[in-house]
Amino acid sequence: MSIIGSNILAGAAGSGVSAYEIEQSLRFDGGSYLNRTPGSAGNRRTCTLSFWFKWASQGGEGVFLWASGRTKLAIDPGGFDALSLDDYDGSYNIRKLTTQSLRDPSAWYHAVVVMDTTNATAGDRHRLYLNGERVTAFSTSTDSGQNFDTEWNNNVEHRIGADNNPFYFRGYIAEMHMLDGTAVTNAEDFGELDNNGVWRPIEYTGSYGTNGFYLKFDPTATNGIGHDHSGNGNNFSPNGFTTSGTGTDVMSDTPTNNFATLNAAYTPNDMSFADGNLYFAPTTSGWRSAQSTIGVTGSGKYYCEMKLSSINSARIALTSIQDTDLFNVGATSYTNNGVIVDADGNQITSGASWTSGDVMALAIDMDNGSVAYYKNGSLQQTVTGLDTSKHWRPAILAYTSSTNGYFNFGQRAFEQTPPTGFNPISTSNLPAPDIADGSDYFNTVTYTGNGSTQSITGVGFQPDWLWIKARNASYHHTLTDAVRGTNKQLWSNRTNEEQTNSTFVTSFDSDGFSLGDESVNGSGSVNTNNTTFVAWNWLAGNGTSSNTDGSVTSTVSANPSAGFSIVSYTASGTDNDTVGHGLGVQPSFHIVKSRDGARDWLAYTREIDGSLDFLRLNTTAAAANSSANAPTSTVFSIYGADINTAGEDCIAYCFAEVEGYSKFGSYTGGIANLFIYTGFKPAFLLIKSSNESSDWVIMDTARSPYNLADEELNPNSSRAERSDAYIDIVSNGFVLKNGAAATNAYQHIFAAFASSPFGGSGVSPATAR
């Protein structure tokens, strides 16, 4: 049964929606755990542990399963938030510390641990899986001897959520299985990839063995949240949990319906979190803020509540900005002394003052662009005129640690009755995404050159724009597209005119592309022997067509659904002549290059100050104001010698934002752990300082499959891959971990493309990264 009424994911197996629903999770608050001591030992050499978790802490140890002071699975703070599997009795019998950092508090991870010390292959005795993929990169790796006896399944105390030090887990755990005597082959007994490429849970149907158990954390079961649903009767005893009322630790936040919490990934503003990231308290004096992990946009009606335990000064807010104080335009708020401010910064009719114990609520109406403020169930004010194309996130501004309290986004019962038609803020209540699988329209592949000919597969579609760069050598960025033809090359780090060479890309194929024999001319750009490469691929349209929307006729390959078009035109020489782009909506970002002249690449954006600005893709220069007219839903304007010298052929790559798939934005850097919300799990990031001289930066999840992501390439330079910008790419955006000049020191613009949306009606929620 469901704890709270909310949308339930349902659908056929293999679809984008889970056919198997996990109904509740158990919140661990850093002082609670479950324990059990088996009456007799089971199989201490062979077992499997599977569970889902949503971590609400960073920089502290989080214990999942511990047995008798020796065998433990935990998140290890000494390993930079890595997953660790240990058996220690004065020295390590087992020590598996993952290289990847688990620092995504906004979504759910799935972990599987397979113990099989009977295996003759040492490296297969202790296998770890995260989100269905086997972990193969370890900073420390010590495997036990063959037939080693662990403490798991021994007749000693077992704890879930704590050890005896005690180190506690903080966050949520759901759907925990222990299989005594069974070592599964992979994680597919417990999960599967849906047809959008998202890992989701499935029902386990195998056996459990003597000391095996299955915990659903259902408070209505015979033995409560510690009831063993395997049928073995291996029940656990709960310690420190509340299972009813407004303070319950049993939540509807699950891997099949991910609820908003406060975002602990964004940590520069001295705000501490607890109780599954629903409790907040500033740690220093001054205004401090926290924002939700889910932003609502486009359509839908949403409701959440906030209740302060104590108060000095506070504002409950709805914000669309990346900011630490939320006082700038782009946030509407309601102060505890009754002042209500609209999203343009204007004070409007005041509401009633409020204090600790009052239940404050936001009813966010994206269908009509408004938010209603409530106090103890009574409407105080409705603010209208919200831009529904932006992501709006509930937030709190609190002054000093004497102001603290709780949010409830619907993962437990609301204290007041929401207005009719308003839903909790969770992934299943978000609108259906326009693109459910980002890899249908953008994908990254890596490969190694062979110096001869080869076909590169795994793209998933026939690319129309192909951007290739050597990773371990200083070769130019090579750009090829279907409009100009596979034998035509341009280089993003050079001003050179287009080159015709049939030994680079020889064809665009149904699942990738083919490369020619570079030994013919020794070009060394895309297929040099033993050189590693990355290729970024975009899908435009099915063929090309003539476009007469502008004053200059263009040839266009357009995919409006994915917000991308490739446009070829011959410049007129008349400034502010127009060229049709075929998108049907105003582009957010477009890049233009002359094919015939030694000229700069111009990249246009309106994200800096609302007016049209441009940067030069081949240089480190800051942005400048453009004299070109802003693009419209049908055309962009051409201005200046670089892209409008009479008679020169030019190429343009045009992008419009598509919710859940692409985002083009800006932010002000200079703060470590600066979180940028995209509303999807990025697969590709392009970043550039807009007000200072610095490199362009490209990051992607093919070269950095786990966090920390630090494999950087620079479109303005031929240099090889390097580590300078440190970024965590997470389920709903990205976090800038250091103050690298190119990514987090000044004002910056960015372009992002998704691997999968964060959530939405009809899709599986994105897993944590």
Q: What is the pLDDT of residues 550-607, one digit of tens each?
A: 999 999 999 999 999 999 999 999 999 999 999 999 999 999 999 999 999 999 999 9
Beta partners for residue 392, in sequence order: 296
- At 513, phi and psi to the nearest 5? -160, 160
What value does the mean pLDDT take over residues 485-508?
Answer: 95
* Residue 124 predicted with pLDDT over 80: yes
Residues 6+ apart with CB under 8 A from 641: 597, 599
Q: What is the pLDDT of residues 673-682, one digit of tens each?
A: 899 999 999 9
Q: What angle do CA 214, 218, 224 make, to 5 degrees?
A: 90
* Residue 522 predicted with pLDDT over 80: no
* Residue 146 predicted with pLDDT over 60: yes
Q: Which two tokens stand for residue 719?
A: 């240099």
String of DSSP letters for 482-532: TTTEEEEEEETT--PPPEE-TTSEEEEETTEEEE--GGGTT--SS--TT-E
Residues 6+ apart with CB under 8 A from 90: none
Q: Distance from CA of residue 640 to its chain's centroid?
A: 39
What pLDDT sits at residue 561? 96
**Alpha-carbon torsion 149, 150, 151, 155, what sign?**
negative
* Residue 102 predicted with pLDDT over 80: yes
Question: Which segment, 57-61, 323-327, 470-474, is predicted with the most confidence on average?
Answer: 470-474
Q: What is the pLDDT of residues 186-202, one digit of tens each?
A: 999 999 999 999 999 99
C-alpha–C-alpha distance, residues 251 and 217, integer Å: 10
Q: Which is nearest to 25 in space by CA: 110, 138, 113?
A: 110
Q: What is the pLDDT of residues 382-391, one digit of tens each?
A: 999 999 999 9
What value does the mean pLDDT take over residues 100-115?
Answer: 96
Find out whether 342 and 383 touch, Cβ atoms under 8 Å: yes
What pLDDT sits at residue 1? 29
What pLDDT sits at residue 268? 63
The beta strands (E) that lie in 156-239 are given as 158-160, 170-180, 191-193, 199-201, 213-215, 237-239
What value does the mean pLDDT take over residues 76-99?
Answer: 91
* 747-757 and 649-655 beta bridge pairing: unpaired
String of DSSP letters for 376-393: TTEEEEEEE---TTS-BE
What pLDDT sits at residue 349? 82
What value does the mean pLDDT take over residues 135-146?
Answer: 97
* 213-215 and 170-180 beta bridge pairing: antiparallel
What pLDDT sits at residue 523? 57
Among all chains, which residue has been given the structure tokens 């397979």? 114
Q: What is the pLDDT of residues 443-459, one digit of tens each?
A: 999 999 999 999 999 99
pTM for the predicted model, two decimal places: 0.95
Find out whether 530 and 448 touch, Cβ atoms under 8 Å: yes
Is 258 strand, coil or helix? coil
* Residue 6 predicted with pLDDT over 80: no
What pLDDT sits at residue 5? 33
- Bigger pLDDT: 11 or 740? 740
Range 688-701 burial, b when 16+ CB lie within 10 A, else e: bbbebebbbbbbbb
Q: Which is nearest to 715 in space by CA: 641, 615, 631?
A: 615
SS3 letters across 431-485: CCCCCCCHHHCEEEEEEECCCCCEEEECCCCCCCEEEEEECCCCCCCEEEECCCE
Q: Distance from CA of residue 372 to its chain's centroid?
A: 29
Q: Which pairs count as long-range contacts for 309-313, CB under 8 Å and 24+ apart, including other chains?
A: 309/356, 309/404, 309/405, 309/406, 310/356, 310/402, 310/403, 310/404, 310/405, 311/336, 311/355, 311/356, 311/402, 311/403, 311/405, 312/398, 312/399, 312/400, 312/402, 312/403, 313/398, 313/399, 313/403
What value does the mean pLDDT take over residues 304-329?
Answer: 87
- Bigger pLDDT: 3 or 717? 717
Q: What percentage of the chain exceeds 90 in pLDDT?
A: 87
What pLDDT sits at residue 10? 33
Beta partners for residue 176, in sequence order: 215
* Residue 410 predicted with pLDDT over 80: yes
Find out whether 121 and 91 touch, Cβ atoms under 8 Å: no
Is 714 strand, coil or helix? coil
C-alpha–C-alpha distance, residues 16 and 11, integer Å: 8
String of DSSP letters for 167-189: -B-EEEEEEEEEEET---SSGGG
Q: Which is nearest to 579 in space by CA: 543, 613, 544, 553?
A: 553
What region does 369 belong to: left with phi over 0, alpha with psi -120 to 50, or beta? Answer: left
What is the rounded average pLDDT for all residues in the chain? Answer: 94
Tally of residues, the chain: 769
DSSP state, 716?
A: T
Measured from the Cβ of residue 769, the count of other Cβ atoms closer than 10 Å reads 27
The amino acid at residue 499 is Q
Residues 6+ apart with CB under 8 A from 532: 446, 447, 448, 449, 470, 471, 472
Residues 6+ apart with CB under 8 A from 205: none
